[in-house]
Structure 1
Amino acid sequence: MPQPITADQPAAHDLPRGLPSSVGIDGFEVAAFLEAVQQAGLELHGVMLERDGLLVVDAWRWPYDSLTPRVTHSITKSFTACAIGLAIDEGLLRLDDPLAKFFPQAATGATDPRAAQITVEHLLTMRTGHGGNTSGSIWRGIDGSWVEEFFRIPLTSAPGTDFVYTSAASYMLSAVLTQVAGVTLHDYLKPRLLEPLGFEAQHWDISPEGISPGGNGLTARPVDVLKLAMLHRDGGRWNGEQVLPQAWVEAATRAQGGEGSRYGYHWWTDRPANGYSAVGVFGQMAAVIPGERATLAVFGAMEKSAQVTPFIDRHLSAALCGEQAGAAGDERLREVLQRFAEEQPLRSLARPTKPLPARMSFALEANPYGIETLNLLQAGERLVMEWVEATGSERIEAGIDHWVAGTSSLPGAQLHHGYALRDAPVVATARWVAADRLELEWVYPRSAFRDRVYLSFAGERVCLERSVNINSGIRAWEPLHGMSTHNPTRHV
């Protein structure tokens, strides 16, 4: 279980730690931030706050932490911007280079001839001329060339005019980088940025063309995401080395594209107040507040990432002006952090009508998910659920009235923003909520997702309902219905 920072606590990573009061941060206001977010009903998984090189807040709900790699979603875009800045500095490309220069054949198939006018800078500033967002969840369903698909997207305005946020632009930046450098985005950044900053255990998705998506698909440790913010706060310097050109950092983090712009080169320049940020869907954020020499990282499962911004502006901005709070503020924050990090037990509310058999098997009616059979296996205080499809089977293990850690490859990309979670770490529990109704909860610590499943038993029949806490698409499956295939007599 994560623990509050103490002055003598050894660092679990390479960022020095300290107490908030040691760098003039008001622990009362940080505590108020955590409580206000909770009272607003927002699902906050963790927050990190750093100032002057000291990590002073590293607060995580169970079972999340700052060292477990996590899907960053569109925070990936700001890493892509780093690669483009480095490539420009190395003379591999220019801001005014047109896309058609790198993909002449694909450009000939463009739906709109104006697509030939799209430049690298248009991609960076999200001014491609497209009328809407092509999100990562859409890209992940395309088996063919994503580059060719980009040129098929209709244009509703001239490139360089209207701002329309789209992950398609970021994919093309990654494609351009791979074209000029001959390596993937990850392999290009590894010696230039990731290794100098001490990144560990990151994973990058790859498109069918062998290109990193650019707009999403990076799984990284939250502490490493915070380092990206620190690098930009310090003008591209890390441990005395100029990792990113300072001129690029300044350009990337100020509004580009004309009057009223709130976006730089793949950085948001309007949030938080007096700062800028890399933002991912469902409440992922790495932010810089330059005037306060501070950076922060926030991770959660929220409808809109902007929902947390008012609480940052109200409480964390005030916390940065808390020179007088002292040890009392540190102690107050310690108390709140202790409650914030506590494991949340789920206990049964009823007893089953009769004990579950050691094994139950149900033939499911035809369903959109291709699941043919549901098997339930109970051994002691653990329950294994197995789903059988035509192509094989997958299972997940849950503790009855307690949590069990494991991995899962159960299907469900429709509920998870298009991501197929393969061998995904998961903690799972089960409890009886009625005499004939079993509730299961599956928490995926490397993502924003938390699934809830209900099994309702009626004689020889079962009904399975599955939903998710957050998603860009559907939040629940259609119920699955099945009939027992045998009537076992042995019970446990």
Structure 2
Amino acid sequence: MSLNVKNELSLPRSTPEAQGLPSSAIVAFLGAVETQNLELHSLMLLRNGFVVTEGWWNPYVAELPHLLFSLSKSFTSTAIGLAVSEGILSLDDQVLSFFPDETPNEVLPNLSAMQIRHLLMMGTGHAQDTMGALTKSENGNWVEAFLQQPVEYAPGSKFIYNSGATYMLSAILHKVTGQSLMDYLQPRLLDPLGIYHATWETCPRGIQAGGWGLSLTTENIAKFGQLYLQQGIWNGARIIPEEWVAEATSKQISNGDGGESDWAQGYGYQFWSCRHDAYRGDGAFGQFCIVMPQQNAVIAITAGLNNMQAVLEAVWTHLLPAMAPTPLPYLEESAIELAERLQQLRIQPPQLGISSHNETVFAGKYQLEENSLRWDTFAIRFDEGEASINIRDHIDDHHFRCGRGAWIEQKSQLNQGLEQQIAASFTWRDSDTLELTVRFLETPFCHTVVCRIEGTQLIFEITPNVNFGPRDTLLMRGERF
């Protein structure tokens, strides 16, 4: 697939051995990922400023951006660091000082004491993440909702992961500059790195979310990590102050007792401390930007999985100890094996049964009962090599094609009305059970839809591959008409 991506600046490429990493270690990492059924979508490994390995699990491709979830936070932190260096903000600034119109009538001491630095370090003093309250705000004023939440602890005294705090950083920057996060970062960070096609989700009032919602390609994630590894210098020019890089990536607050968890090593300014003197930005379901200063390495990963610690364990077990300080001998056999493994990276569509004599029974149009997806009707027909699906929801009609035991890639607005690339297929679990699979290739998400006929009704069971909280199956019924 070819996308019109102009002016993207590519990182230089090299062989693993030339940069002190044996190809066999990368093969071992890929093997560990496969053995543990960890669904990676992309991998880019940098050593000494060179891309030494890159791969995408088909149907995911290099040109497509991927939703970063909380890895977005590290970019928001960078914007604050740049604003501090320009004298626009100070980390000691009181959060309330920016929002006189949203300040509660009664201001208690802990809220009054909250500063920008406390937002950055996830030490706001709240007992829980404020995002639930923000998204439930009836008037869409998330700033007001944040400032109305009780602040149970003294700011700076307790770590509570709080995406609402990162949203407030975006709102503060928006307030003092009159610009969105993206507009502020574009000339200062993104342009120098050659990143021109980023997007960022917004709140109901148009302020970019800050704590989530940024979409970038894997290589652009890697560039960001490399910039931090190089202490804020890119192509000989300083982009980020060195002091900010050091402060943002250092432990600012304790978030656990250390041990074997990479979520208990301390937290900086929207960066996590890791074991092995590394640090990272990360996002839900396996979005990683891992920076390893001791090894002069960066690892960018996108994925759709729940066990994020397992990915880090594979990095520490197979990649980190194999990194040598000097070039290694080139071993043709290992290089060929790695090249073959990278060429074979793919997520296969389910291929349980090619066809069913009941296809004519399933084919038709169904009026759906009220459901949380807000789907109204569902229609399906079968052709020789594919099934054609049409879903009407509260936004529009959505037509897409499912390959018969194969992916068909296409554009769709099925995901909340956003036009995105999807890959879809179908198979038969048995003659009476149809399985549809839809992968949203710019996100971690994949939905499996199992369909059965009961009389004149079509019964749906829709299950996501990953989800916040339980992976509940959504049950839905449709009546043929």
Judge same fold: TM > 0.5, yes or no. Answer: yes
| Offset from partner CA, 1:72-114 (integer Å, 9 cap, x none) | 1111111111111111111101110001111123222567442
- 1:28 maps onto 2:32 in alignment: no
Partner of 1:7: none
Alpha-carbon separation, structure 2, partners of 1:308 and 1:128:
30
Partner of 2:343: 338
Q: How does 1:473-492 map to 2 (within 5 A)?
A: 473-485=469-481
Aligned partner (choices 241, 264, 267) of residue 271 of structure 2: 267
- 1:214 maps onto 2:210 in alignment: yes
Partner of 1:430: 426
Alpha-carbon separation, structure 2, partners of 1:13 and 1:86:
22
| Structure 1 residues 201 and 12: alpha-carbon distance in aligned structure 2, compared to 1, 3 A threshold | closer
Letter in 2 for 1:201: H
Q: How does 1:44-443 map to 2 (within 5 A)?
A: 44-109=40-105, 112-135=108-131, 139=134, 142=137, 144-257=140-253, 262-271=266-275, 273-321=276-324, 323-324=327-328, 326-327=330-331, 328-339=333-344, 341-342=345-346, 344-349=348-353, 351-356=355-360, 360-389=364-393, 392-410=396-414, 420=416, 422-443=418-439
How far the C-alpha of 1:27 sits from its partner, in A, is 1.0
Local SS of the residue matching 1:387: strand
Partner of 2:447: 451
Consecutive unaligned residues in structure 2, runs of 5 or more: 258-264
How far the C-alpha of 1:269 sits from its partner, in A, is 1.6
Letter in 2 for 1:187: D
CA contact (8 A) 2:56 2:346 kept: no
CA contact (8 A) 1:28 1:325 kept: no
What percent of counterpart residues are identical? Answer: 32
| Offset from partner CA, 1:205-256 (integer Å, 9 cap, x none) | 1112221111111011111111111001001000011011111111111111
How far the C-alpha of 1:258 sits from its partner, in A, is 6.7
Deviates more, 1:57-66 or 1:280-289: 57-66
The number of residues matched between the two structures is 466
Letter in 2 for 1:264: G
| Offset from partner CA, 1:409-465 (integer Å, 9 cap, x none) | 336xxxxxxxx3622210101112211211111111111111111111244321111
CA contact (8 A) 1:350 1:433 kept: no
CA contact (8 A) 1:38 1:44 kept: no
Consecutive unaligned residues in structure 1, runs of 5 or more: 3-10, 412-419, 486-492
Partner of 1:417: none
| Structure 1 residues 244 and 356: alpha-carbon distance in aligned structure 2, compared to 1, 3 A threshold | same
CA contact (8 A) 2:428 2:434 kept: yes
Letter in 2 for 1:332: E
Local SS of the residue matching 2:272: coil
Using the size of structure 1 for normalisation, the TM-score is 0.88
Alpha-carbon separation, structure 2, partners of 1:390 and 1:343:
31
Letter in 2 for 1:270: C
CA contact (8 A) 2:9 2:195 kept: no
